[in-house]
Structure 1
Amino acid sequence: MQTPLAVRPSRFPVFQWLALVICAGAAGQSLHALSVPAGLFLGPMLVAIVFAVSGARLQLHRQVFRFGQGCVGLLVAHSVSWSVLAALGQSWQVMLFATFLTVALSALVGLGTVRFGGIPGSTAAWGTAPGAASAMVSMAEDNGADARVVATMQYVRVVCVVMIGSVVSHLLGADEVAGAAASAPEVVDATQWGDLLLSLAVILLGVTVGAKMPAGALLMPLLLGAALQLGGVLTITLPSGVLAFAYGAIGCYIGLRFDRQTVRYVWKRLPTMIAGAVALILLCAGGAWLLAKAVGSDFLSMYLATSPGGLDAMAIIAVETHADVGMVLAMQTLRLFGVILTGAWCARQIIRLTRA
Structure 2
Amino acid sequence: MLAMKPADLDLRRSVAYAAPQWIGLVAASAGLSVVLSAAGFPAALLLGPMLAAIGFGVSGAAIRVPKAGFLAAQALIGCLVAHAVNASIVRTLMADGILMLAVVGVTVLASASVGWLLTRIRLLPGTTAAWGSSPGAAAAMVAMAEEYGADPRLVAFMQYLRVACVALSASIVARLFVGDAPAGLPAPVGAPEPGAVLATLAVAALGAWLGRRLNIPSGAMIGPLVIGATLHATGQASMSLPDWLLALAYAAVGWTVGLRFTRATVRATLYALPGVLAATLGLIALCGVWAFGLTFVLPIDLLTAILATSPGGLDSVAIIAVGSRADVSFVLAVQTLRLLVVIITGPLVAKWISRSLG
Distance apart, 1:119 and its partner CA: 4.2
Residue matched to 1:29: 30
Relative to 1, partners in 2 of residues 1:82 and 1:122: Cα closer, same or farther, differing over 3 Å?
Answer: farther
Rounded to whole Å, the distance in 2 between the matches of 1:124 and 1:330 is 32
Please state if 1:79 is matched with 2:84.
yes
Residue matched to 2:223: 220
Question: What are structure 1's unaligned runs of at least 5 residues?
Answer: 170-174, 320-324
Residue matched to 2:235: 232
Please state if 1:39 is matched with 2:47.
yes
Relative to 1, partners in 2 of residues 1:94 and 1:260: Cα closer, same or farther, differing over 3 Å?
Answer: closer
Rounded to whole Å, the distance in 2 between the matches of 1:265 and 1:178 is 41
| Mapping of residues 328-339 of structure 1, within 5 Å | 329-339=328-338
Pick from 111, 119, 122: which aligns with 2:116?
Answer: 111
Number of matched residues?
332
Pick from 183, 186, 192: which aligns with 1:184?
Answer: 186
Please state if 1:140 is matched with 2:141.
yes
Relative to 1, partners in 2 of residues 1:127 and 1:177: Cα closer, same or farther, differing over 3 Å?
Answer: farther
Distance apart, 1:47 and its partner CA: 5.7
Range with greater deviation from structure 2 (305-314 or 215-224):
305-314
The aligned amino acid for 1:158 is A
Pick from 54, 57, 67: which aligns with 1:49?
Answer: 57
Relative to 1, partners in 2 of residues 1:294 and 1:336: Cα closer, same or farther, differing over 3 Å?
Answer: closer
Please state if 1:158 is matched with 2:167.
yes
The Cα RMSD (Å) is: 3.5
Pick from 300, 312, 317: which aligns with 2:319?
Answer: 312
Range with greater deviation from structure 2 (194-203 or 214-223):
214-223
* CA offsets 1:219-273 (integer angstroms, 9 cap, x no match): 2122222222222122222333222322333444556666532131344444334
Distance apart, 1:200 and its partner CA: 1.3
Rounded to whole Å, the distance in 2 between the matches of 1:66 and 1:193 is 23
Range with greater deviation from structure 2 (116-125 or 218-227):
116-125
Relative to 1, partners in 2 of residues 1:232 and 1:106: Cα closer, same or farther, differing over 3 Å?
Answer: farther
* CA offsets 1:186-215 (integer angstroms, 9 cap, x no match): 33x632121111111112112222334132
Distance apart, 1:129 and its partner CA: 4.5
Relative to 1, partners in 2 of residues 1:246 and 1:263: Cα closer, same or farther, differing over 3 Å?
Answer: same
TM-score (norm 2): 0.76
Residue matched to 1:345: 344
Identity %: 27
Distance apart, 1:26 and its partner CA: 1.8
Residue matched to 1:172: none
The aligned amino acid for 1:333 is L
